[in-house]
Amino acid sequence: MEHTFDTPSRDYELVRSTLAFLTENWREQPSLEELSERTGVGPHHLQKVFTRWAGLSPKAFLQALTLDRARELLRDSASVLDATYEVGLSGPGRLHDLFVTHEGMTPGIYKAKGRGLTITYGFHASPFGTALVMTADQGLCGLAFADDGGEAAALADMQSRWPEADYVEDHIATAPVAKRIFSQAKWNPEQPLRIVFIGSDFEIRIWETLLRIPMGKAATYSDVAAHVGKPSAVRAVGTAVGKNPISFVVPCHRVLGKSGSLCGYHWGLTRKRAILGWEAGQMARH
C-alpha cells in the first residue's frame, strides 16, 4: 500500500509525529527547541516543514490546541444549524472552508450492502495521519484515517459498511481527490468537491446536517437531533454521527458534548483534537 503526496515520506512522518506529540502534550507547551531535540531535526527545518504541511507554525498550532475554548465553539450552535446556507456548500462561504456538493446513493445500493457498486481506494499522506480515500463514479464516498500499521484495519472497517461492493486499489486515481481535500488552495466554491452518501435515509439526514456546521463552530448531539426533528433521538443521532463514512470533509469532529467535551470520535480523540486545533489555527489566520 503506497502512500503518495507531494512531500517526501520522511517529511510527512516528521510532521505526523510532531502533530501527534503536540496534540497529546499541549498542556506542557513544548518549545520549538524541545521539539527539535525530540525529533533530531534542526528547529529551522522543523518549522519550515511543519508550516508547509499544516499551514501554520508549531507554536500557532500549539496555541490553537488550547481547546478549553470548546464551550466557545458551541455558542449559538443551534442557530448555526438553523441558518440558511448556500445549497450544497459546507459552511457559510468562508474562503478557507472546504466546499462540497453532495447527493445520496440510491436506497437500493445501500440495502444491497453496496452490491453492483465499484469503489476505488488509495492510501495517502495527510496532516492527520494516513488517509484512506474511497471514490465511486458519483464522487468521494469514503474517507478514513489510519495510524502506522493500521491501514489494513481501516480498510476492513470501511469495507464492512458496504461488504458486497467491488473494491479496486488505485492510489494514482485517488491522489487528485486527496489533494483536493488536504490542499487548501484547492478549496474552491466554483469547483466544489463531489461527495456521495451511502447510508439509510436517517443517516444521510444527519450527515447533511453536519455539513451545516462551519469551521470555527460546533454543535451538540442534541442540537443535531433537534435540527432533524427528532429531539428525543440523541442516542440514534450519536450512532449516525459515529458512522459518518467521510471524515474531515463531513465534519463530524465538530460535534461536541453539551459541556464542550470532545466525546468520542471513530478515528481517535487525539486526531479529533488535532483537527479542531488545525481548524482553529486556520481561523486565526483569516
DSSP string, 153-166: HHHHHHHTTSTTSE
Q: How confident is the model at residue 9 (pLDDT cuts 50, 70, 90)?
A: low
Q: Is the model's pLDDT at 32 over the cut of 50?
A: yes
Kind plus residue range of the DSSP H or E element containing 134: strand 130-136
pLDDT at 96: 44
Q: Is the model's pLDDT at 86 over the cut of 80?
A: no
Domains in the chain with CATH codes:
70-285 (1.10.10.10)
pLDDT at 260: 79
Q: Who has greater pLDDT, 65 or 103? A: 103
Pair 143, 135: CB distance under 8 Å? no
- What is the average pLDDT value for the chain, to the nearest integer? 85
Which one, of 278, 285, 252, 281, lies nearest residue 267 by Cα? Answer: 252
CA of 245: how far to CAs of 33, 36, 81, 215, in Å? 39, 36, 21, 19
pTM score, whole prediction: 0.81
Query: What span, in angstroms and rounded, lies between the C-alpha atoms of 80 and 91?
Result: 10
pLDDT at 85: 47
Mean pLDDT of 112-135: 94
pLDDT at 258: 83
Task: Compute, in degrees rounded to 10, the torsion defined by CA atoms 3, 9, 15, 21.
Answer: 80
Q: Which amino acid is at 197?
A: F
Q: What are phi and psi of 51, to 5 degrees?
A: -65, -40
Q: How confident is the model at residue 87 (pLDDT cuts 50, 70, 90)?
A: very low
Query: What span, in angstroms and rounded, lies between the C-alpha atoms of 42 and 33?
Result: 8
Mean pLDDT of 52-81: 77
Q: Is the model's pLDDT at 26 over the cut of 90?
A: no
pLDDT, tens digit, 9 for 90 and up, residues 136-178: 999 999 999 998 889 999 999 999 999 999 999 999 999 999 9
Residues annotated as catalytic (active site), given as ranges: 252
Pair 107, 117: CB distance under 8 Å? no
Mean pLDDT of 247-262: 89
